[in-house]
Amino acid sequence: MSTKRKVYSAEFKAKLVLEVLEGEKTINEIASTYGIIPKNLMNWKKQFLENMSLAFDKSSVVKEYKDEIETLQKSNDDLAKKVGNLTIEKDFLEGKLVSLASSKERKALLDVKLALSLNKQCQLLHVSKSSWYYQPSKPFGAASEIKLLDAINNIYSDFPTYGSRRIHAQLLRDGVSIGKKFVKKAMKHMGIVALYPKPKTTVANKEHTKYPYLLKDFRDDARRVVIEKTNLAWSTDITYIKLKEGFVYLAAVIDWHSKKILAWKLSNTMDVSLTTGVLKEALALYPKPEIVNTDQGSQYTAKAHIDILKKHNVKISMDGKGRATDNICIERFWRSIKYEEVYLNEYSSIKELQKAIANYMDSYNKKRLHSTIGYKTPNEVYYQADNNLVVSEGVKLLPLVS
């Protein structure tokens, strides 16, 4: 017996989207509370953000639908005139199609947008309707598989340098009977890899424009990128952090020369609003850079992110394909924050994590010494350069800006 598809009201969707935007709980927590699929929450949020402007411009929406209705009415009139001829042609083509096309090819011709019902299309194309509705089971959806994912993640949190083979060996030592292929697929599904050497895990969108890597012009004889002044080059990236229930994502913008974190943001979803939000904050708080470098992930090649950089006349630089070390400045920061904060603690909520990250960022910028900048703090280097002060000439430093 088939299960009737559950339909959610607009009010229910709006309520849940507001909870997501509040950022108080993870996607998994909200989904579990209301008994829905986390993917639905992400889709509803995306739909909400894309259509916010409609609440303030109802007239254009009404006109758009009126135009669409008029177009459909005219199309229906034209189709009615052709019914006689098409009936004869249909009988001829139906017989030819069934004999020449495979069942898979005929199934691909089904279109729910047509005025012709899906039942009729299946009948004409000789396709089983059940095959149209069949969907393969989602990977790692069973409770037992989720438990294994959690075990893998716990090992990775304790030993972030472990790859799939060592994680598999540790699971066997812990009494978990599991295959190597499962561990490898599970790590890929979760988006985790050994901390170093780090292969590229960014998912690119083939339709988006990719930009060249501009920082190669600043390499020294040892092939290391050396940026000699502040606000010449920024880097931005995203990493994930595991909570007791679900995951959250941390985005940050770093000044390559001073190592100062200029802006950061936590989110329970990894979408374009996360990357654009942290970039806008950095540009609002500090002088714009000459170059911003990112990876080729879909969030950074998206039009919304690219348009912000173009609006501020910032040169766009992107890592080469498979070259995670091209963005080594922020990659090293991710390693620092995870080793010095994240892996040492457990966080029961986003609020708790938000507070911990805020404290770390404050200490990192104001107190943490870096060997690569002469054992100074990022704030000392950034604001010293910003005020054009030269210590070697005996010029007194201005007070640091908080």
Query: How confident is residue 99, by pLDDT bands cut at 50, 70 and 90?
Result: low
Q: Is residue 311 part of a domain?
A: yes
Residues 284 and 366 in one domain: yes
Higher pLDDT, 172 or 245: 172
Phi, psi (5° rounding) for residue 262? -85, -30
3-state secondary structure (DSSP) of residue 68: helix
- Two tokens at 143? 């409770």
pLDDT value at 365 more than 90 = yes
Instruction: Please report, for residues 90, 109, 162, 289, 314, the alpha-carbon distance to residue 232 in angstroms, rounded to integers and kept in the order given.
Output: 66, 53, 35, 5, 10
Residues 219 and 321 in one domain: yes
What local confidence, expressed as pLDDT, does residue 261 receive? Answer: 96
Chain center to CA of 355:
23
Q: What whole-number distance in Å separates Cα of residue 199 and Cα of residue 185?
A: 15
Residues 35 and 160 in one domain: no
Q: Is residue 282 part of a domain?
A: yes
DSSP assignment of 90-136, as one string?
A: HHHHHHHHHHHS-HHHHHHT--TTSSS-HHHHHHHHT--HHHHH--P
- Contact (Cβ atoms closer than 8 angstroms) between residue 365 and residue 379: yes
- Give the CA radius of gyration of the chain: 27
pLDDT value at 385 more than 50 = yes
Q: 301, exposed or middle or buried, with CB in 10 Å at 0-12, 13-18, 19+?
A: buried
pLDDT tens across 51-68, in order? 777 667 666 656 666 777
Residues 6+ positions from 372 with CB-CB distance below 8 Å: 259
What local confidence, expressed as pLDDT, does residue 389 receive? Answer: 40
Q: Is residue 317 part of a domain?
A: yes
3-state secondary structure (DSSP) of residue 353: helix
Looking at every residue in the chain, the average pLDDT score rounds to 79
Q: Which amino acid is at 57?
A: D
Query: How confident is residue 236, by pLDDT bands cut at 50, 70 and 90?
Result: very high
Residues 221 and 151 in one domain: no
Span between the terminal Cα atoms of the chain, in Å:
65
Q: Is residue 324 part of a domain?
A: yes
Q: What is the mean pLDDT of residues 297-323?
A: 86
Q: How many domains does the chain have?
A: 3
pLDDT value at 295 more than 50 = yes
Q: Is residue 185 part of a domain?
A: yes
Residues 370 and 333 in one domain: yes
Residues 257 and 159 in one domain: no
Q: Is residue 315 part of a domain?
A: yes
Instruction: Please report, for residues 64, 238, 240, 376, 380, the alpha-carbon distance to residue 396 in angstroms, rounded to integers and kept in the order given.
Output: 64, 38, 41, 16, 13
pLDDT value at 401 more than 50 = no
Q: Which amino acid is at 234?
A: W
- What is the domain-level CATH number for residue 273? 3.30.420.10
What local confidence, expressed as pLDDT, does residue 86 receive? Answer: 64
Query: How confident is residue 96, by pLDDT bands cut at 50, 70 and 90?
Result: low
pLDDT value at 262 more than 80 = yes
Query: How confident is residue 98, by pLDDT bands cut at 50, 70 and 90?
Result: low
Residues 358 and 244 in one domain: yes
Domain that holds residue 186: 143-190
Maximal C-alpha separation, the chain: 95
Query: How confident is residue 398, by pLDDT bands cut at 50, 70 and 90?
Result: very low
Q: Region of 59 please: left (phi>0), alpha (psi -120 to 50) or beta.
A: alpha
- Two tokens at 243? 């909570």
Closest Cα to residue 369, out of 326, 336, 402?
Answer: 336
Q: What whole-number distance in Å separates Cα of residue 15 and Cα of residue 9?
A: 10
Query: How confident is residue 285, by pLDDT bands cut at 50, 70 and 90?
Result: very high
What local confidence, expressed as pLDDT, does residue 307 receive? Answer: 93
Q: What is the mean pLDDT of residues 255-267?
A: 94
pLDDT value at 397 more than 60 = no
pLDDT value at 187 more than 60 = yes
What local confidence, expressed as pLDDT, does residue 2 receive? Answer: 59
Residues 320 and 171 in one domain: no
Higher pLDDT, 131 or 293: 293
Residues 376 and 306 in one domain: yes
Q: What is the mean pLDDT of residues 256-278?
A: 91
Q: What is the mean pLDDT of residues 299-310?
A: 90
Q: 255, exposed or middle or buried, with CB in 10 Å at 0-12, 13-18, 19+?
A: buried
Listed range (50-54, 232-236, 326-330, 346-350) with the worst mean pLDDT? 50-54
Query: Which is it for strands 233-242 and 291-294: parallel, antiparallel or unpaired?
Result: parallel
What local confidence, expressed as pLDDT, does residue 390 receive? Answer: 38
Residues 164 and 18 in one domain: no
What local confidence, expressed as pLDDT, does residue 80 receive? Answer: 67
Q: Is residue 356 part of a domain?
A: yes
Residues 238 and 324 in one domain: yes
pLDDT value at 105 more than 70 = yes
Residues 6+ positions from 230 with CB-CB distance below 8 Å: 255, 257, 258, 260, 381, 382, 385, 386
pLDDT value at 200 more than 50 = no
Q: What whole-number distance in Å separates Cα of residue 319 and Cα of residue 293?
A: 7
pLDDT tens across 155-183, in order? 887 777 788 888 899 889 888 888 888 88
Q: What whole-number distance in Å separates Cα of residue 20 and Cα of residue 44?
A: 10
Residues 169 and 290 in one domain: no
Give the orientation angle of helix 143-158 with respect to helix 164-173, to 10 degrees. 110
Q: Is residue 274 part of a domain?
A: yes
Higher pLDDT, 195 or 171: 171
